Amino acid sequence: MNLKGKRILIIDDDPDFVRSTGMILKSAGYEVLEAFSGKEGLEKSKAENPDLYIIDLMMETYSEGSLVVDALVKDENTRDKPRIMITSVDLKGPWDSYPGDEWLACDFLLQKPVPPAELLKCVEKAIA
Amino acid sequence: MLLEKANLLVIDDEEIVRNSCTKILTEEGHVVRGAENGDQGLNVFKEFHPDLVLIDLKMPGKSGMEVLEELESADPDVVKIVITGYATVSSALDAMKRGAYDFIPKPFSPDELVLVVTRGLEKRRLLMEKKALLIGQEKIRRNMVSLVSHELRAPIAATVQYLEVILEGVAGEVSSEAEELIHRCDERLREMLELINKWINLAVFDPIKLAEHFEDVNLSEMALKSMELLKSSADKKKVRLSLEAQKNVPVIAGSKICLEEVFNNLIGNAIKYNRKKGRVAVKIYEQGNDVCFEVNDNGIGIEKENLPRIFDEFYRVDGRRTSPIQGSGLGLAIVKTMVDAHGGAISVDSRFGDGTSFKIRLPKVIHLEKGS
């Protein structure tokens, strides 16, 4: 399966993160779409129908990212599209274990900063 | 607003007192249960969850004062009122000292009873409000901490991500010297992220919540796992690791994740603050009601005047953040917190230039024999 040219929508209110993530993905041949809030993300999703979503968990509000996921899951057009959730929350906080990927209804849950190689590996696995 | 419909418990050996209290207070709209002695009262207390308890001080069997004390230690937020047979000020005062909110001398009129109970329920309402407020504040504090941690982490994460993109060559060619410098930036920033994580975890650490998830833990297995993890850093310094574990050492009740942290920190330190070709000897053995865990090294040691402060947060012995040995200054603070949370104790013995020995005692799980 040729992954080049697959379209990935990044939804994150941190423009620096959108930019660097976009650079990594573009270098691997993906087409990148950008949204800087949950609302914009859902609009772009409708208009552009991307192949994969990369969503920041904590944007303007605490749970904006998971609200975006909820909306994507509710819509049958986007329900089966792969999703990667990314957050700067400390996921390994050893004494207050964090709910896993399952809880977030995502294929992967990654912690910022994501090493480029790891990001690309997850994207490939999620799309395949 | 008063508690209009409260759960009330009357513990009194005289049936007539129980019945009249029940009648009067039920008419006031409350739910009333009676108990004819202390033990029965304590049982009802457990499943009925009363807001207020009336306790007769003079009862056969368990005395009212004992019942009062047990109830007070079970839940200080439940209002207790004692019924005194003789209006002796001294026994009433004594009861108040042991947690009673008020007293009512026998015989009493319905109005007197209602008055005392109403006052008691007002106190109960205030106690409940205070409790709710405290829980609310704790919630806010925790949310605050995770919010702050997110805000602290986000810019560092964004920066590291850029650095990694640059290192990948995605933004153009990087000279070898620039690459080296960027690697250093990357490392320093990652250390800072790690520090924030540790600090936050310590700040929101809740030993009570942790204890709810305790399981049986075999310390020898944990030590082996930790030594495997740290083997490569020991090899780098040519430090020899050894484990001497008593056979069939009893399990302790604990959290594996937290104890892993304890082991990794202590053994990690013993390697880090060791000399080349040094030794780290780990020992595990049973002693009385405890399982003991020792980490002994023949490394650089700690000066006597520094020993009292090594468990303090952010305390580092040489005080220089840029010393060749990297550390957050939180490792031993975490160890101490974890050991305390397990009901254990930690002690340290060190001779400067000779080596250091940490000893942890953790209470072992005691399986009660049937019938005991």
| Per-residue pLDDT tens digits for B159-216 | 999 999 999 888 889 999 999 999 999 988 988 888 887 777 777 777 877 787 788 8
> In this structure, is residue A82 part of a structural domain?
yes
**Mean predicted lDDT score pLDDT of chain A:** 84
If one counts the domains in chain A, the total is: 1
Alpha-carbon span B134 to B138, nearest angstrom: 6
Q: Which residues of A touch B201 (CB under 8 A)?
A: 90, 93-96
Token match 């274990």: residue? A97
Is residue A20 scored above 90 in pLDDT? yes
CA separation, residue B3 to residues B50, B73, B102, B291, B331 (Å): 12, 23, 17, 50, 49
More confident residue, B195 or B40: B40
Name the nearest CA neighbour of B118 among B201, B4, B15.
Answer: B4
**Mean predicted lDDT score pLDDT of chain B:** 86
Same domain, residue pair B332 and B223: yes
Same domain, residue pair B57 and B126: yes
* Contact: B158, A114; criterion CB under 8 Å: no
Q: Which residue of B has its CA nearest to A56?
A: B154
The residues that bridge with B32 in the sheet, in sequence order, are B8
Is residue A98 scored above 60 in pLDDT? no
Is residue B26 scored above 90 in pLDDT? yes
Task: Choose the mutation target among A23, A56, A88, A119 for the interface with B, i.e. most B CBs under 10 Å.
Answer: A88
CATH of residue B29's domain is 3.40.50.2300
pLDDT tens figures, A78-87:
989 999 988 8
Is residue B86 scored above 70 in pLDDT? no
* Contact: B201, A94; criterion CB under 8 Å: yes
A70: phi > 0 → left, psi -120 to 50 → alpha, else beta; which? Answer: alpha
**Percentage of chain B surpassing pLDDT 70?**
91
Alpha-carbon span B335 to B360, nearest angstrom: 10
Is residue A115 scored above 60 in pLDDT? yes
Inter-axis angle of helices B331-341 and B256-272, to 10 degrees? 140
Write the CB contacts of B250 (distance below 8 Å, at least 6 apart in sequence): B286, B291, B364, B365
Q: Is the ipTM of this complex over 0.90?
A: no
pLDDT at B273: 86
> In this structure, is residue A63 part of a structural domain?
yes
Give the CB-side neighbour count of residue B359, counting CA atoms within 13 A.
Answer: 11
Confidence of residue B3 (pLDDT cuts 50, 70, 90): low
Alpha-carbon span B8 to B41, nearest angstrom: 11
> In this structure, is residue A2 part of a structural domain?
no
Write out the E strands in chain B.
Answer: 7-11, 31-35, 52-56, 79-84, 102-105, 215-217, 240-245, 252-254, 279-287, 290-297, 345-351, 355-363
Same domain, residue pair B128 and B138: no
* Contact: B257, A112; criterion CB under 8 Å: no
Instruction: Judge whether B92 and B102 are in contact, CB under 8 Å.
Output: no
Burial (CB count <10 Å: 0-12, 13-18, 19+), residue B142: middle
Name the nearest CA neighbour of B53 among B61, B305, B62, B74.
Answer: B74
Distance of CA A49 to the CA centre of its chain: 14
CB atoms within 10 A of CB B64: 25
pLDDT tens figures, B289-323:
899 999 999 888 888 888 778 888 777 666 544 45
Same domain, residue pair B121 and B15: yes
pLDDT at B9: 96
Alpha-carbon span B106 to B110, nearest angstrom: 11
A67: domain range? 7-127
> In this structure, is residue B369 part of a structural domain?
no
Same domain, residue pair B233 and B333: yes
Q: Which residues of A touch B204 (CB under 8 A)?
A: 95-96
Inter-axis angle of helices A64-74 and A38-48, to 10 degrees? 30
Instruction: Judge whether B210 and B258 are in contact, CB under 8 Å.
Output: yes
pLDDT at A81: 92
Confidence of residue B43 (pLDDT cuts 50, 70, 90): very high
- Smallest Cβ–Cβ distance between A88 and the set B150, B204, B258 belongs to B150
Q: Which residues of A touch B260 (CB under 8 A)?
A: 94
pLDDT at A94: 47
Tell me what the mean pLDDT of segment B75-85 comes to.
90
Least confident of A12-21, A68-77, B206-215, B232-241: B206-215
Tell me what the mean pLDDT of segment B220-239 comes to.
90
Tell me what the mean pLDDT of segment A56-85 comes to.
84
Confidence of residue B151 (pLDDT cuts 50, 70, 90): confident
Tell me what the mean pLDDT of segment B91-112 comes to.
89
The residues that bridge with B9 in the sheet, in sequence order, are B33, B53
Task: Choose the mutation target among B160, B165, B210 for the interface with A, i.e. most A CBs under 10 Å.
Answer: B165
Tell me what the mean pLDDT of segment B13-27 comes to.
93
Task: Choose the mutation target among A61, A90, A92, A120 for the interface with B, i.e. most B CBs under 10 Å.
Answer: A90
Confidence of residue B329 (pLDDT cuts 50, 70, 90): confident
pLDDT at B366: 64
Q: Give A77→chain B minimum CA distance, Å.
A: 32
pLDDT at B90: 80
Q: Which residues of A touch B147 (CB under 8 A)?
A: 62
* Contact: B161, A92; criterion CB under 8 Å: no
Residue ending a domain, choose from B110, B132, B154? B132
Q: Give B117→chain A minimum CA distance, Å.
A: 43
CB atoms within 10 A of CB B255: 22
Instruction: Judge whether B348 and B358 are in contact, CB under 8 Å.
Output: yes
* Contact: A94, B258; criterion CB under 8 Å: yes
Q: Give A1→chain B minimum CA distance, Å.
A: 24
CATH of residue A113's domain is 3.40.50.2300
pLDDT at A26: 94
Residue ending a domain, choose from B161, B178, B206? B206
pLDDT at B367: 57
Instruction: Judge whether B64 and B11 are in contact, CB under 8 Å.
Output: yes
Residue B65: both structure tokens together? 């004062």
Residue ending a domain, choose from B206, B237, B256? B206
> In this structure, is residue B1 part of a structural domain?
no
More confident residue, B151 or A40: A40
Is residue A16 scored above 50 in pLDDT? yes
Handedness of CA A26, A28, A33, A39 (dihedral sign): negative
B152: domain range? 134-206
Alpha-carbon span B73 to A69, nearest angstrom: 47
- Smallest Cβ–Cβ distance between A17 and the set B158, B196, B204 belongs to B158
> In this structure, is residue B260 part of a structural domain?
yes
**Percentage of chain B surpassing pLDDT 90?**
40
> In this structure, is residue B372 part of a structural domain?
no
pLDDT at B307: 79
pLDDT at B255: 86
> In this structure, is residue B49 part of a structural domain?
yes
* Contact: A95, B154; criterion CB under 8 Å: no
Same domain, residue pair B231 and B359: yes
pLDDT at B295: 93
Q: Which residues of B touch A89 (CB under 8 A)?
A: 146, 149-150, 153
Same domain, residue pair B231 and B341: yes
* Contact: B205, A95; criterion CB under 8 Å: yes
